[in-house]
Structure formats: C-alpha cells, structure tokens
Amino acid sequence: MHGIFITFEGIEGSGKSTLINNVAAALRRAGQDPLITREPGGTSLGVALRKVLLNPEMEKLGSMAELMLFAADRAQHVSQVILPALEAGQIVLCDRYSDATIAYQGHGRGIPLDVITAIDNYARSEAIPHMTILLDLPAETGLTRARTRNKKSMDSSESRIDEEEMAFHQRVREGYLMLADQEPDRFLVLDAREKPDRMAGLVMDGFRSRFPDAV
C-alpha cells in the first residue's frame, strides 16, 4: 500500500462530516485527490446495512447481530473501496472505522474486547489507519447537537444510536479516550467545540508533520 489512510472518530454530534469535508478541501488545494468514504455505507452493501443498523425501528437488534453487521460492512468496504484506493496511492478519509466498533460495541454494549478484536482483524484485513482524528466533546453536548440536527432535518431514519441512554454515550466517549491514550502516535485528539476552520487547520498541521512528503 502506498496511500495514506486517515480515519475520523467521535461520538454522535461531534462534527466529523464537516471536518472531513474541510480537510478534503485543504488537501485538494495542496494538489491531492482524497477519497471520502464512511462506515457503514461506503459500498452498495454498506448502504443497505446502514438502513438496518441506524434505523430506530430496529431497537431489538441484538448486540452480537449488530457487531456482525458492522463487520460485514467493513469487510466489503475494505476489499471494494479502501484497499484499492490505498494501492492506487490515494489519501483515504473515512468517517468511522475499527475504533468505532471498539468504542460502541465494546465499551458501549459490553461485548468483550477480545471478541471484537478477533472479528475486526478478519474484517479489516491489512487496512490499518495511519492516522486517526478523534473529535472529543461531552456526551451531553454531542447528543444535543445530534438530536437538534435530526429535528431540523425532520429525518429520524438514522437515529437509533442517538436515542440510546446518556450512560451509553458516556461509555462510548470514555472508550474512545482510552484508545487514544493507548496509541498516542496514531491519534490526534481535538476539542470538537472548536471552530471548524481551526480544527481543519490542526488536522492539516498534524498531517504535514506525519507525512511531510505528501503535501
């Protein structure tokens, strides 16, 4: 692989989509052609799985079934989209990846982390992020943002996770911060309450320091 794989993580309402678009624009100005993708939903199979995984009508979806569906999405995403792009030398910007599974299904749902790691290792193959941006903010702030967004758009079709209890989202946030503590060289932790332009600038600074030959 000759490309660069960057993942963006954070609880609901942390602003990942906005940041990814801003970073992509900065990379384009620097002469790069980044690929933006997401999980779930980066392939046609992923789009179908996303409708199941985030649908509030699926409130009885079991934790292990949820984990397996995310793993199926990742396996297809890696083989069909991520690895080909990296092999072609592209910069891949991905909204959620393996760390989300550990944070949500592990710390949030309580599935043993060794079970998640074993399944995820098969699903992601050799596609391991070179850099991960964690947008951190209090769970209360993130949920308020997410639920306000859903009301404004009048679209609740992807609100299943948003509707989880506050304690769940707090466990997810704590899980993310634990992951960042364990791999400080890979993670760049940002305060998601900062202005979008400033966060994009910090990401680009981190990118340049890690990959000086890329831009």
Taking CB atoms within 8 Å and a gap of at least 24, the contacts of 195-203 are 196/15, 196/18, 196/19, 196/22, 197/22, 199/15, 199/19, 199/22, 199/135, 200/19, 200/22, 200/23, 200/26, 203/19, 203/23, 203/26, 203/133
191, 136 Cβ separation under 8 angstroms: yes
pLDDT of residue 147: 79
pLDDT of res. 100 = 98
- Topology of domain 4-210, CATH: Rossmann fold (3.40.50)
User: What's residue 213's pLDDT?
Assistant: 87
- Rounded to two decimals, the pTM is 0.94
Domains of the chain, by residue range, sit at: 4-210
Q: What is the pLDDT of residue 155?
A: 62
Q: What is the pLDDT along the chain (215 residues), one digit of tens a residue?
A: 589 999 999 999 899 999 999 999 999 999 999 999 999 999 999 999 999 999 988 878 999 999 999 999 999 999 999 999 999 999 999 999 999 999 999 999 999 999 999 999 999 999 999 999 999 999 999 888 887 777 776 666 667 888 889 999 999 999 999 999 999 999 999 999 999 999 999 999 999 999 998 88
How does DSSP assign 61-123, residue by residue? --HHHHHHHHHHHHHHHIIIIIHHHHHTT-EEEEES-HHHHIIIIIIIT---HHHHHHHHHHH
Q: What pLDDT does residue 145 have?
A: 84
pLDDT confidence of residue 1: 54
What is the per-residue pLDDT for 196? 93
For residue 58, what pLDDT is reported? 85
**pLDDT given for residue 80 in this prediction:** 98
